[in-house]
Amino acid sequence: MTNFKYNNGDETKLHVVMSPWLAFGHMVPYLELSKLIAQKGHRALNFRKDLVASKSFGPALSTPRNIDRLLPRLPENLSSIINFVKLPLPVGDNKLPEDGEATTDVPFELIPYLKIAFNGLKVPVTEFLESSKPDWVLQDFAAFWLPPISPLSTARRSGFLNRRDSKSTPPKWVPFETPVAFKLFECRYIFRGFMAETTEGNISDIHRAGGYEAEWLGLMQDLHRKPVIPVGVLPPKPEEKFEDTDTWLTVKKWLDLRKSKSVVYVAFGSEAKPSQTELNEIALGLELSGLPFFWVLKNRRGPWDTEPVELLEGFEERTADRGMVWRGWVEQLRTLSHDSIGLVLTHPGWGTIIEAVRFAKPMAMLVFVYDQGLNARVIEEKKIGYMIPRDETEGFFTKESVAKSLRLVMEEDEGEVYRENVKEMKGVFGDMDRQDHYVDSFLDYLVANR
């Protein structure tokens, strides 16, 4: 490792290992934090699939295919500081398809087997930690087995805050007023994943997880009796250079023909796949709204998903004059930054929220999986996004509710608050000096307490 000057001018070396869960909504933020740490002279390592025989120093452990998909996000000037250690994902008889190394690669019902395989990394991770002797391990929720094998300090990703009842209220141990609580239908999404311990050999997410805002951070610290240190929102950097690929040039040509802030950008991330009924209502709602739209359609979770959803027959033909359905990957940051995008219809996954706010795009939201319900409550409270009305118990929604919500946020006087508030919030999410201060404070703690 290279010596470097850090803050107080003393010679300091810090070796940090990152261990994110095998989902891009987790791996990408860990990589962004690694980049920020590395830019300050520390060694960081991200978690990958193939185990490198020789010692590697840096902040990332993961699987080979995941690492190969993350590497394009790594600037050349950091490639010698951030090292990826590829750990082969144990497959065995766990029913995972070949190359199924991330949650986006497999159908939802196979994710418990991905977690079982992830547990199999305990031995190679132990061997790596013993040989590399890092100062810190920054761990995600899934590696519940990591603290006992790690002879060093470990930071853990926070879990979910909710109360499982029909009143959809915060737990009694939250000492302040807040609307942040799951609705009943959202609890079903959560427990669909949590109850996956019924899969033989799996460990529930409740067991894996250790348990926003200043009040929430203070509460977590009081509850767990351990320091809780924010690292910021890790916003994307639009100033990073992009290549003009054929895909982008095609998308840009279509967007360039639209008026400023007139297009609804529709995308539900790598994890969420609406049911066929939900997809139908979304499509009919877009058609009923009369608004231009650019829809990044994902109709299956990986190539092994045997139940793909399809658009209604004739939908694309009827909306061809104002809408584009894109089946494939697009550069979301670049697309969101385009001036024609005026609204994002999406799931409230935290990564998408950060990217939308970074470019001052208000949101219309539909919850599909995991912790998205709590994210949606926070965004609603800040009035930078609008939750499309749904049945509180079953989560049903209609084309009329979709159309009305889109027009409200995009055009109507009632939606002006969302359009204005997101501009103000952009100044917070896009404040790189503030972000830099968070990372400095975090590193101060790591250096002082290693």
- Residue 77: C-alpha distances to residues 35, 73, 81, 336, 341 (Å): 10, 12, 8, 26, 32
| Confidence class for position 442, pLDDT limits 50, 70, 90 | confident
C-alpha to C-alpha distance for 112 and 110, rounded to whole angstroms: 5
Residue 216 lies in a domain: yes
Residue 239 lies in a domain: no
Residue 319 lies in a domain: yes
Looking at the structure, tell me whether residues 302 and 364 fall in a common domain. Answer: yes
| Confidence class for position 265, pLDDT limits 50, 70, 90 | very high
Residue 373 lies in a domain: yes
Residue 379 lies in a domain: yes
Looking at the structure, tell me whether residues 152 and 163 fall in a common domain. Answer: no
- 98 against 101, higher pLDDT: 101
Q: What mean pLDDT is predicted for residues 7-32?
A: 76
- Residue 100: C-alpha distances to residues 22, 46, 206, 327, 353 (Å): 10, 19, 23, 20, 26
Residue 209 structure tokens: 């997880």
C-alpha to C-alpha distance for 321 and 188, rounded to whole angstroms: 38
Beta strands in 88-173 (DSSP E): 136-139, 153-156
C-alpha to C-alpha distance for 396 and 143, rounded to whole angstroms: 35
Looking at the structure, tell me whether residues 339 and 258 fall in a common domain. Answer: yes
Residue 376 lies in a domain: yes
Looking at the structure, tell me whether residues 114 and 32 fall in a common domain. Answer: yes
Could you report the per-residue pLDDT of 223-251, keeping only the tens digit for each? 777 787 888 888 766 555 566 788 999 99
The pLDDT of residue 154 is above 80 = no
The domain that holds 145 is classified in CATH as 3.40.50
Looking at the structure, tell me whether residues 36 and 92 fall in a common domain. Answer: yes
The pLDDT of residue 306 is above 90 = no
Residue 369 lies in a domain: yes
- 59 against 271, higher pLDDT: 271
Looking at the 3D structure of the chain, how many domains does it have? 3
DSSP state of 355: H
C-alpha to C-alpha distance for 50 and 166, rounded to whole angstroms: 45
Looking at the structure, tell me whether residues 88 and 202 fall in a common domain. Answer: no
Looking at the structure, tell me whether residues 446 and 425 fall in a common domain. Answer: no
Q: What mean pLDDT is predicted for residues 406-428?
A: 95
| Confidence class for position 107, pLDDT limits 50, 70, 90 | confident
The pLDDT of residue 48 is above 50 = no
Looking at the structure, tell me whether residues 414 and 287 fall in a common domain. Answer: yes
Could you report the per-residue pLDDT of 157-192, keeping only the tens digit for each? 333 333 333 345 665 656 666 666 656 555 555 555
Cβ neighbour number for residue 428 with a 10 Å cutoff? 12
- Which of 227, 260, 278 is the last residue in one of the domains? 227
Looking at the structure, tell me whether residues 250 and 336 fall in a common domain. Answer: yes
pLDDT of residue 181: 62
Specify whether the CB–CB gap between 43 and 59 falls below 8 A. Answer: yes
Q: Please report where in the chains the tokens 């427990």 appear, as a residue.
A: 191
C-alpha to C-alpha distance for 259 and 177, rounded to whole angstroms: 41
- Which of 199, 227, 255 is the last residue in one of the domains? 227
Burial class (CB in 10 A: 0-12, 13-18, 19+), 248: middle
Least confident among 34-43, 79-88, 322-331: 34-43
Looking at the structure, tell me whether residues 277 and 345 fall in a common domain. Answer: yes
Q: What mean pLDDT is predicted for residues 378-396?
A: 90
Could you list the residue range(s) of the whole structural domain that residue 351 is in? 246-429
Residue 236 lies in a domain: no
Which pTM does this prediction carry?
0.75
Specify whether the CB–CB gap between 187 and 162 falls below 8 A. Answer: yes
C-alpha to C-alpha distance for 88 and 187, rounded to whole angstroms: 34
Looking at the structure, tell me whether residues 143 and 186 fall in a common domain. Answer: no
Percent over 90 (pLDDT), the chain:
29
Looking at the structure, tell me whether residues 399 and 362 fall in a common domain. Answer: yes
